[in-house]
A = this chain, B = another copy of it.
């Protein structure tokens, strides 16, 4: 159909998400050419060991396999000693940055500097990493607007569930009256295991054994990952300039197996919810373990599912959830943002 445009991409972070992005490029290259007129070429990469570039493009399959076999970027041809990811973005000729380095809520690095540098050069950025948005949502969007560079982040909330796109594109001119969501599947899995009789510590250990919880699970179980996503939601389609300081946060560490089983016996359950409630111009934001009827939509949103319900003045009551267990859908959500930024407008 359309002429094929080659898109030179920098991948910042080569963990599960960007490795799955490489896997998608391997399987969907022909489809991306024929349906969207795009050919992605990975010209720069970064991990914790350093940065490397190949203007002719890395082979996606080879790059993915080497990382999975334990190689580091410093082992790759094109490795640049003493270069930082932001330093790479300051000089690299590329059309798109995919930022999926680890969440860092202290200073947002290395992601925050990468995003600032790329947007400052007018290069569009797609984020899976929530850190830069949580720390600097308004600054980064102002920077993007000033330089005419798109900033995609639909992969930062509920994996591949297009919560951000629905809020920004589909709730046109609406006032959100209330919103509730289950944004963290690690805690949702742990609560499910506890409802089945497991103690909190055992359920957490099981989540870690399966590799879905970090060795330091505090971001998940203390509710901060959920709060991060609520901050992004509040800024992106609740019309707020919110930060973490505006969210009252309680995690699941004080929920007991006994509480869960008592609720279960009376047809209820306990879920860790992100909640936004309209109060005139702004919304009250909180994260808290909440008793729900098993009959309710979110009371039925179990283990590997994440979901959201949105009640607005124009669009009735909407309910969305997704079941995903691997990082593939989140990587696909980054591809979705990239294609929607780069595809010719219909």
Contact = CB atoms under 8 A, between A and B. Distances in A.
Interface of A: 24, 28, 31-32, 35-36, 150, 154, 159-162, 165-166, 169-174, 295, 297, 300, 307, 314-325, 328-329, 332-333, 335-336, 339-340, 345-346
B24 A332 contact: no
Contacts of A159: 316
Contact of A172 (B161, B336, B346): B336
A339 B172 contact: yes
B320 A174 contact: no
Contacts of A31: 173
A159 B314 CA distance: 12
A303 to B, nearest CB: 13
Contacts of A169: 162, 165, 169, 336, 340
Which has the most chain B C-beta neighbours within 10 Å: A24, A154, A336? Answer: A336
13 contacts: A35-B173, A36-B172, A36-B173, A160-B318, A162-B169, A165-B165, A169-B169, A172-B336, A315-B322, A316-B322, A317-B323, A319-B319, A319-B323
Nearest to A345: B345
Given A171-B336, A320-B320, 8 more contacts: A162-B166, A162-B170, A172-B340, A174-B332, A297-B321, A317-B322, A318-B321, A318-B322
A328 B315 CA distance: 7
Contacts of A165: 165, 169-170
A160 B316 contact: yes
Nearest to A35: B173
Contacts of A150: 346
Contacts of A300: 295, 297, 300
B346 A329 contact: no
Given A31-B173, A346-B150, A316 B329 contact: yes
Nearest to A295: B300
Contact of A314 (B161, B323, B332): B332
Contact of A316 (B295, B323, B346): B323
Nearest 3 pairs of A and B residues by beta carbon: A316-B324, A314-B332, A162-B170
